[in-house]
Structure 1
Amino acid sequence: MTQLGRAAVALAVVAALCAPAQAQELKFAGKFKTEQLITGPDCLALLWSQKPGDSYGCTPAQVGAWREALVAWRGKRLQELKYDDRRYADPALAWTKSSFVQPQLMVHDRYFYDPVAGKYTVDRYLDDLVKRYGGIDSVLVWSIYPNIGIDNRNQLAMIEHLPGGREGVRRMVADFQRRGVKVLFPIMPWDTGTNAPAKEMPEAIAELMKDLGADGVNGDTMTGVPEKYSLAAEKIGYPLAFEPEIAPKENHLGWNVMSWGYFEYPYAIVNPAVHVSKFKWLEPRHMVRVNDRWNRNREEMLQFAFFNGTGFESWENVWGIWNGLTERDAEALRRIATIERAMAPHLVSPGWEPMAPTLQYGVLASRWPLGASTLWTIVNRNEYSAGGEQLALAAQAGMRYFDLYHGTELKPRRGAGGALTLSFSMEPKGFGAVLATPAAPDAKLAALLATMKAMTRRPLKDFDSKWETLRQTMRAPVAAAPPGMTTIPAADFEFKVHGIEVEGVNMAGVDVQYPWEDAPHRFHYKRMALAPYHIDTTPVTNAQYKRFVDASGYRPRDGQNYLRHWSGGSYAPGSGEQPVTWVSADDARAYARWSGKRLPTSWEWQHAAQGTDGRIYPWGNVWDAGAVPAPDTSRNPAGPAPVGAHPTGASPYGVLDMVGNVWQRTDEFEDAHTRSAILRGGSNYKPQGSHWYFPQALRLDTHGKFLLMSPGMDRNAATGFRCVRDAVQGAKR
């Protein structure tokens, strides 16, 4: 806060402390018990205990007492914190004050990377967002969770192993910045079980971000990124914007210049109050982006954001589960973000006045003074439209008034005593914005008015508010021939399996959509008549894969991380019987074609492992630790065990190493935004310290969903494969 701002706050505090005894005690709310919100005045609620004849809504005195308490609390709290605002004054971080819209971008999103062309498609990704909701100001590039933990690569390696390595990531970051979009990457404090970084994380992440040219860092699961991260960045002359996922502790506000807002929303037809963002109130330059990843209706989030002059986390691809904005929400975001970007200097005003006076119940406003002009951001909390007179203002000579939302100039009605009233319409659960200014519209304001006038010709109610899943298609395995391994007989097979994703519960869109299902979901069941087939008795080994490489001369087009565990074109001595890893699905399919086989479907894999009695492990229903390799919980695991080393783990048909050694590839799925692979059997690698790592699927009625991006990124140290071939020509799978 500037000296002028501090002085203004101090005067307001003195006035508040001298206010009448009616001043209120503030109440706080927010998800995760973080108290991110200062609740609005209780007098707005429609209390069932009211008696006939009682009036509804707040009196000016009640709102005034609430606002006085708000101002007094801020002044007192900043003084207690000995608040230092120097990072908000840093020109290198000035962009954060207008970074209103930010998606969390899964790097596996098909709009972002083309694995066939082998290149990032940043323009395609951004063009889609511009078309659907007006574009973004910053982006959080997410490459770590939920795939981290499938092998021992740590969070830094998961960034460095993106397509093209560091140089490719630098170009990708530059592509975003060329379009005016700032770039953030995440840090995971819970990543303590994978390979230890070479340096302490604050220094390591600062140096990596500087090398990549990134602009900021998101602290996953953090209630405030510790100041040591900010200091490490400043030490190397590269200030970064830090953004904790969860609202920062108040004493962290000075260096966490952005944060996410997990807000609670009152039941609007009972209490239309819009709560005040606590951290935006403490520091008006702090950028909060309202976020609720699983909410399919963003109406409340957008209203709270606009009232508070804050941003919006436009997160749609949630761990490969598509939760897209509805057409109506996308259009509402386009409109409010257009106004916020144009009016950004007003929205950091230290004179912000929440719950500014309005004339109609359920129509709530924030007032943002800046010099001689004033902005109002307004929301209609009612489920019905609000037309006519909305604001009553004292007359000011030469002042002009503009309805920014509809892009028109307002002609005030002058009442008794010189008071002015402004009239305009607001849709149900709609938005409004008014600018009072003594100046004629300059080019920037004229452009905004023209843009908004054209944009709002079609009312929001005409945009579809129905939420739908994205349909998935299952990629058919490549059919092929030659000789077979263990024969799996024809069977009437009960295919029953569920995904083990950490998040998403049982929402539509979670996990995958098999061909007989109408939408992706977590739990799957189908009774199948399976024809006989042959399956590799063990996963493909290093020695077998080398024979293929030597005979075929195969070299992948994208060679990043290919056979990373080999050296000089061969595997390490003594590891020939270990399952081959660090191969992509394309590499596995190339081997399968060469050997006249194909990759198995998930139900073929499960039938070969389970038989027909529904057992949950290949050997029965009770876990047997001796039937699988010992778990490796170190940060530098030794790798999988040789195949066949645990014969007591054989399936009813004698197939070996089905669980607990290496993950094995089966089906692949894709929708318009995400590709994924179904991995079966789990592995012997089990990183410790967090439940966020890629979870194990050792039970035969579970599978892992591994998000796919590029061959280089998809290759890892814990995933191998085995092949099948049809035992009957033209057999139905």
Structure 2
Amino acid sequence: MSSGFDPLHPRELDLPMAVPLRADGALVDVTSGEAALTMDDGKIFAAPSDPAQLDDWRAQLVSWREGARARHGVPRRYDDPASAWAARCFTVAQVWLWDELFFDFDAQRFTPERFLADARERFGGLDGIVLWHAYPVIGIDDRNQWDFYDVPGLKQAAAALREMGVAVFVDYNPWDTGTRRAGDDATELAATVRRLGADGIFLDTLKKADPEMVAALDAARPGIGLEGESKLATERIADHTLSWAQWFADSEVPGVLRAHWFERRHMQHHIRRWHRDHSEELRSAWLNGVGMMVWEVVFGVWVGWNDRDSATLRRMLPVQRGLHAWLVEGEWTPLAVHEASVFGSTFTHDGSTLLLLANTSDADVTYRPEGVGWQPLHAGDTADLITVPARGIAAAMQVTGTEPAELDAVRTALAAETPARDASFPHRRTRRLAPQIPSRAQLAPADIRAGATVRTVIVPSGEHVLTVRHRARETGMYDGAPYVDEWKPLPPRLHDQRTLERVVRLANPVRVGVAEVSAAEYALFLDAIGEQAASRDPERPASGVTLARAREYAAWVGGRLPSEDEWQLAAVQPGFRRRVPEVWNWTESEHSDGRTRFVMLKGGSAHESTGSDWYVDGGVRGPEFALKFLLPGLGQDASPSIGFRVCWEETT
């Protein structure tokens, strides 16, 4: 990485590609040769700022496409009715399985209907959902990526999504090579597709899947949609019906997406995960006739959409869904409108022309379409005067002859959709949750409840200043996004070691167990509540215990879990020790911002998954190290790598 890299600006490889126009008075040959291969590698074909160059520019786009199809073949997968759904999948949400809109922690059940209701109200609905499952918790133990999809009720939740008309994507992590091995990835992924009834695969960190994997997935689900995380090679558009337009920078005058121009039925989803302003992505998606990735919880970090951009998407989707035939079958003229700050594409189909307009300025602009027969699609516009809101979009259709049957439904769907002006970021702050501890009829003997049989160290009351170390991950730490309005995070901004300072005030001294609760001690608790213990080893730490159960045990012995700060302060006291094998320790630090729950783990563990930086931190750690662990439900937080210890607060 060069010293001049600016994370707030796109990298060279993210920039739009200039289209060769004329050399020595003649158009450059872009059908074959070096110029054609260069264009094959583009993300967005940059548009000319000079309207006088538009005819040459459009001619070169057509020539490149003809040459590329001659070299790579015409994609036939899109003719298969089983694959057709992908071309209509305009909005996809990336959803952590344990997002508090998608999962009810109190009832311990999935709530896909609640998630979709929120999306309908704020965005105009979803066409697809990626069920995100493993990262960033994978690596905490030996469970592999397939194990994290083996969750009670998930199959039913996926079925409910499909019944509500939403395509289901599962996530594939090719970097998961250091956990439990089972079958080969293609076999395991195909089995997951069958079990969950998935429609598509998100190819995490990949641009494309190997042909052998494509064949295996096609056998599991004919018409399966494969969507990579970045720029898709032109030759692989043939067997990947979707792709992310992630961190694609556009030209000042909006350009043309290369993959979608090559094959109009190829769906792309614009996404810049750390950006708080999505107007440029929305504009490009609108003018190109493609979709958006709505990703508000990025691996446990809130990056919510502002009201203006949400309203823009609500104004886009009825047009894209209702007039889909124009976008994929119509004659597309990019930049049919090229004015100071208003740009537009036209799509002519079956005698009528759809005009899509976008405004790049910070003020509303009015536009007067040329010709007759124009019908505005958005409320408040007229045939003679269309208002394109600041950083927003508008649409009209020129009808010659019979009005398209689709228009009525589109206008009805848009009748209540008006632009929003508020582009401020909708902040969420985390709060520490009070522990919910079910009462138990059976109580420990009095001496155990008082902690008299447990050796402890004393953490004194008063103010303490702590140094906390952690690895920079996309999960962030206590609050806020680790990257704001940045393009792709790269080392050393990604995965490097960070330090923060915390101030904690303890009203009373706290006695913290010198060691984790042992398997034998935990077995006594299980006996008391009528459950069978797996082990009664007096030296090994009790592990495989959920946070809820750890809290129950602590209450049973008259104590509680120590906070992460109390744990760290205790760890530097003489006598504090770790049982073997070492395990992470639960702490009383459950937090929530209303969408994500997490807990700070302390101590590290003997287990360490190796082979990828995407795994959870492993190995035994010093007292100052903290791991932000996203909390799963349905008992999935129980891990052989996590145990706990108890503390008792001294009162005066």
| TM-score (ref. length: structure 1) | 0.76
Change (3 A) 1:28 1:584: farther
1:235 equivalent in alignment to 2:235: no
1:291 equivalent in alignment to 2:239: no
Between the aligned partners of 2:79 and 2:274, the Cα distance in structure 1 is: 35
Q: Alpha-carbon deviation of 1:531?
A: 3.1
Aligned residues of 1:210 and 1:238 also touching (Cα < 8 A): no
Structure 1 residue ranges without an equivalent (≥5): 1-15, 45-56, 412-422, 512-520, 555-568, 611-651
Q: Identity over aligned residues, as a percent?
A: 29
Between the aligned partners of 1:233 and 1:350, the Cα distance in structure 2 is: 31
Change (3 A) 1:132 1:707: same
Match of 1:664 among 570, 585, 594: 585
Correspondence list, 1:376-455, <5 A: 376-389=355-368, 391-392=369-370, 400-406=373-379, 410=383, 423-441=385-403, 444-455=406-417
Aligned residues of 2:92 and 2:128 also touching (Cα < 8 A): yes
Q: Alpha-carbon deviation of 1:523?
A: 3.5
The one-letter code sitting in structure 2 at the alignment partner of 1:58 is P
Match of 1:685 among 587, 594, 607: 607
Q: Alpha-carbon deviation of 1:118?
A: 2.2
The one-letter code sitting in structure 2 at the alignment partner of 1:709 is P
Change (3 A) 1:477 1:424: closer
Match of 1:97 among 84, 87, 111: 87
Q: Alpha-carbon deviation of 1:24?
A: 8.6
The one-letter code sitting in structure 1 at the alignment partner of 2:214 is S
Aligned residues of 1:477 and 1:600 also touching (Cα < 8 A): no
SS of structure 1 residue aligned to 2:141: coil
Q: Which moved more, 1:202-211 or 1:310-319?
A: 202-211
Q: Which moved more, 1:719-728 or 1:21-30?
A: 21-30
Aligned residues of 2:311 and 2:417 also touching (Cα < 8 A): no
The one-letter code sitting in structure 2 at the alignment partner of 1:392 is E
Between the aligned partners of 1:481 and 1:369, the Cα distance in structure 2 is: 80
Between the aligned partners of 1:29 and 1:551, the Cα distance in structure 2 is: 71
Aligned residues of 1:679 and 1:705 also touching (Cα < 8 A): yes
1:216 equivalent in alignment to 2:216: no
Q: Which moved more, 1:291-300 or 1:379-388?
A: 379-388
Match of 1:311 in 2: 291
1:494 equivalent in alignment to 2:465: yes
The one-letter code sitting in structure 1 at the alignment partner of 2:59 is E
The one-letter code sitting in structure 1 at the alignment partner of 2:288 is N
SS of structure 1 residue aligned to 2:630: strand
The one-letter code sitting in structure 1 at the alignment partner of 2:341 is G
SS of structure 2 residue aligned to 1:410: coil
Match of 2:549 among 568, 587, 590: 587
Correspondence list, 1:415-564, <5 A: 423-441=385-403, 444-456=406-418, 459-461=419-421, 464-476=422-434, 481-483=450-452, 484-490=454-460, 492-503=463-474, 509-510=480-481, 523-526=500-503, 528-529=505-506, 531-553=508-530
Between the aligned partners of 1:659 and 1:522, the Cα distance in structure 2 is: 28
Aligned residues of 1:501 and 1:704 also touching (Cα < 8 A): no
Change (3 A) 1:694 1:657: same
Match of 1:75 among 58, 63, 66: 66
Q: Alpha-carbon deviation of 1:477?
A: 5.1
Match of 2:494 in 1: none
SS of structure 1 residue aligned to 2:26: coil
The one-letter code sitting in structure 2 at the alignment partner of 1:123 is E
The one-letter code sitting in structure 2 at the alignment partner of 1:493 is H
Match of 1:329 among 309, 331, 352: 309
Match of 2:280 in 1: 300
The one-letter code sitting in structure 2 at the alignment partner of 1:369 is T
Q: Alpha-carbon deviation of 1:501?
A: 4.5
Match of 1:262 in 2: 246
The one-letter code sitting in structure 2 at the alignment partner of 1:371 is D
Change (3 A) 1:38 1:274: same
Superposed CA RMSD in Å reads 2.9
Q: Which moved more, 1:478-487 or 1:146-155?
A: 478-487
Aligned residues of 2:527 and 2:533 also touching (Cα < 8 A): no
Aligned residues of 2:36 and 2:68 also touching (Cα < 8 A): no
SS of structure 1 residue aligned to 2:244: strand
Aligned residues of 2:301 and 2:474 also touching (Cα < 8 A): no
Q: Alpha-carbon deviation of 1:171?
A: 0.7
Aligned residues of 1:29 and 1:38 also touching (Cα < 8 A): no
1:67-91 CA deviation, whole Å, 9 max, x = no partner?
11111111111221234x2321221
Change (3 A) 1:478 1:144: closer
1:193 equivalent in alignment to 2:178: yes
1:333-354 CA deviation, whole Å, 9 max, x = no partner?
1111221111112111363221
Between the aligned partners of 2:431 and 2:81, the Cα distance in structure 1 is: 48
Structure 2 residue ranges without an equivalent (≥5): 1-20, 438-448, 483-497
CA radius of gyration, larger in? 1
Q: Alpha-carbon deviation of 1:675?
A: 0.8
Aligned residues of 1:139 and 1:182 also touching (Cα < 8 A): yes
Between the aligned partners of 1:728 and 1:369, the Cα distance in structure 2 is: 78
Q: Alpha-carbon deviation of 1:302?
A: 0.8
Match of 1:571 in 2: 534
Matched positions, count: 598
Between the aligned partners of 1:454 and 1:478, the Cα distance in structure 2 is: 43
Aligned residues of 1:28 and 1:36 also touching (Cα < 8 A): no
Match of 1:39 in 2: 46
